[in-house]
Amino acid sequence: MKLVIVESKAKVKTLEKYLGKEFNVIASMGHVKALPSKQGSVLPEKDFQMIYEYVKGASSIVGDIAKKSLKTTKIYLATDPDREGEAIAWHIYNSVTQYLKNNSEISTDTKFSRIAFNEITRDKVKEAILNPRDIDMNLVQAQQARLALDYLVGFTLSPLLWKKLPKCKSAGRVQSVALRLICEREFERAKFDTQEYWSVLLNFLTKDNKEIKAKLTHKDGKKLDKFDISEQEAKELEVKLREKYFKILRIQKKKSNKNPPPPFNTASLQQEAATKLGFTVKKTMQIAQKLYEGIQVEDDIVGLITYMRTDAVVLSNEALTQIRDFINTSFGSNFVPTKSRIYSTKTKNAQEAHEAVRPTNVNLTPEKIKDSLSDEQRALYELIWKRSVASQMKSSVIETISAEATCDDGSHIAQATESYISSSNCYSIIYNSYDEYDDKIEKASIMYSLQEGESLTTQSITPKQHFTEPPARYSEASLVKKLEELGIGRPSTYVNIISVLQNREYANLDKKRFIPNFTGSILITFLENFFDEYFQYNFTAKLEEELDEVAKGKTCKEKLLNKFWKKFNEKIKTIEDKSYQEVSDLMAKALEKIVFPKEDSKKPCPKCGEKNIEIKIGKFGPFLTCAQYPQCQFSKSVADYLSNDIEGNTQNDLVFEDSNKKEISIKHGKYGMYIQQEDKENKSIKRISIPSGLDKNSLSKDLILKMLDLPKVIGQHTETGENVYLKVSKFGFYIEHQSITANIKYKQDPFNIAIDEAVKLLTQTQKLKNKKATTKRIKK
């Protein structure tokens, strides 16, 4: 019996079927050891020694492997074919060896071998078994160096953040660079000045009564630029051009080749799956993992795609031959180019160790195996399959025809342009429908029927208003694409980068686009001012290059880590020596570019009217205050200012006065937002928590007054006759009777809850508590 160790359970069944009864396949369930999230896991003073601990549940897996290894002379470490997989293989080897040593069962006859396959197919798995190798320690060192770098940054920066920067919990080496991209894009948008511009559109009828659409390109003999026409001029042109007669001045035709896109790498797959299928980056990788590990197709388990974490867009010679043969058989020789298309990776710092993401067997068309796949699996597989096949087809031919129409005196020219695919080739694979192209061909055919000198009938003239738009916020996929372009991160890290940004609440997704939270903006401001060189794009990309040098064996991890740590640690100590006030003052000044991105964008103090609002850093974060303090006591959190206008509405600190002249405001406290009602005449204050699940945009004046009226008697309990109260806390609205409380779901209107419904909720809650108490006693 021989052992094969893989990472996931999903691969076990597939490999057992391929390898037969001679092999026992065991899953390690990912990493068996990891760096614990605590001080002392990496020791710079001991040549960056790394202190690993077993992942939860992994020690029993290692023990199982060790015991089974005593009955075999061969163990194949078949973890994923990348740095992470290599590191897992190394940890398994060391852990099993140490386990046997500790139990006095060391077997000198047991031989470990590393095998790797880029696709899980019968032939490739058997080929790997026949060609084992040693663990590549250069790859292991590169993975460890990345892990140590991330640890050293996180566990030295985080304590500094806690001391110097309220609300910021931690900073990651690569995640912070991604956050910087998001924040800089938001700053660009904030600074952006929208400009209005106009165009004039003309609809003509040909002699055959066919419609063509044109745009005015020349006015009074001069070519128009984007901002040349104002609203008034556009409307004047509408009137003026009605009196003109137009004819065709010239017709131009040209052809161009449209080459197929390359096969997918990780980033482009995530981008296309987001655009075409609406998948998140995480979802794309989860589905791709299933397709890679193996799907039951009729009586066999088949790994349908190659390894999905890759920088490369290259295809193996075997894949090229298979795809070209398929195209020739299925579509005809006219679709096959003379030579195979060879794509090169343009991504900075890309590793060419793997192929592109492609189908393992192109003859397994999406149609053939559709019944074996879920809808989502089929959609992603079809995307990968089509892209791979199209990449080896002839270029499509794009034909463009443009017609210039001039008025009778030659003073004004309008142009109509249409493009269509005259020879589809690769596009016949990529697109399911020709509807769009049929429409384009029909419009182009109308243009082809035109003749120079032909008179046109003006059907309509339409002035059209346009506005310039700021650069779009990053989506998950476009952020990954940008990171890839900059050479930051690796295919195996993209999902984690995005998850960390959201889990730490540094950025949110709104309409599938990233918007930095204010905490995230503060963090980046801090890093830009105190650690800028370490979070520059080129610095992070350069580190990736150095990690690649470790992977190639051209340098060692200790040398890389020492070079980084020496300067970084000195920087940490320098900032630690700065006083809290010094850091706060500098941060307050730096935050002005975020809070007031445009020149003179400060607004008057809503309380005293003076235009001299300042930024201060307090215990609970940055806030706006009036420079006239203490004469004017206006204050407002900067987070609120950025999400809402500073001037009066229900989301500002100063909200309104009630009928009794009591000042009502919304405050941000240590435990969340609350409503404050201040009676200055009687010097009394009432505070009500705002439930954390309540959207602050829904805090109308009416709702605030209702909340201030709590606690409120709903009625008398039907059994006890005692009052049942409606109350509120930071956890939500709830009902209270004697010592029993029952939560009200947010979908319910708490202020209109009837007494019989309230009693029912209380009874259900009491029954649930009694059941739990009984279960607890039984267990004891």
Q: Domains of the chain: which residue ranges?
A: 2-135, 144-191+477-581, 196-259+396-467, 266-390, 590-704, 712-779
- 3-state SS record for 405-453: EEECCCCCEEEEEEEEEEECCCHHHHCCCCHHHHHHHHHHHHHHCCCCC
pLDDT at residue 626, rounded to an integer = 84
Q: Which residues contact 124 (CB under 8 A, 6 or more apart)?
A: 117, 118, 360
pLDDT value of residue 435? 47
Q: What kind and span of H or E run contains 524?
A: helix 518-530
CB 427 within 8 A of CB 406: no
- 8 A C-beta contact, residue 153 and residue 172: yes
Instruction: Read off the pLDDT of residues 15-53 as tens digits, 9 standing for 90 and up.
Output: 998 998 899 999 999 999 999 988 899 999 999 999 999
Judge: domain 144-191+477-581, CATH 1.10.460.10: yes
| Segments of the chain scoring below 70 in pLDDT | 106-110, 166-167, 169, 346-353, 428, 430-441, 599-603, 611, 619-620, 639-655, 668-672, 692-698, 745-748, 771-780
**DSSP label at 279?**
-
CATH number of this structure's domain 266-390: 1.10.290.10
Q: State how far the Cα of 96 lies from the Cα of 32, in Å rounded to an integer.
A: 10
Residues known to be catalytic: 307
pLDDT for the residue 461: 94
Coarse DSSP helix, strand, coil percentages of the chain, rounded to the nearest 5 percent:
40, 25, 35
Which pLDDT score is estimated for 270? 94
Q: State residue 77's pLDDT score.
A: 96
Stated length of the chain: 780
Confirm or reject CATH 2.70.20.10 for domain 196-259+396-467, answering yes or no: yes
Which residues does 242 contact at the CB level (< 8 Å), separation at least 6? 458, 461
Tokens of 88: 């897992």
Q: Give domain 2-135's CATH architecture.
A: 3-Layer(aba) Sandwich (3.40)
Structure tokens at 260: 């197929």
Buried b / exposed e across 703-733, counting CB within 10 Å, b at 16+? ebeebbeeeeebeebeeeeeebbbbbeeebb
Per-residue pLDDT, 672: 65
Q: Which residues pair with 400 in a beta bridge?
A: 254, 419
Residues 118, 123, 129, 134, CA torsion sign: negative
Residue 196 has which token pair? 């209005």
Question: Does the N-terminal peptide bond of residue 630 adopt cis geometry, omega within 30 degrees of 0?
Answer: yes
Full DSSP string of 554-600: SS-HHHHHHHHHHHHHHHHHHHHTS-HHHHHHHHHHHHHHHHS-STT
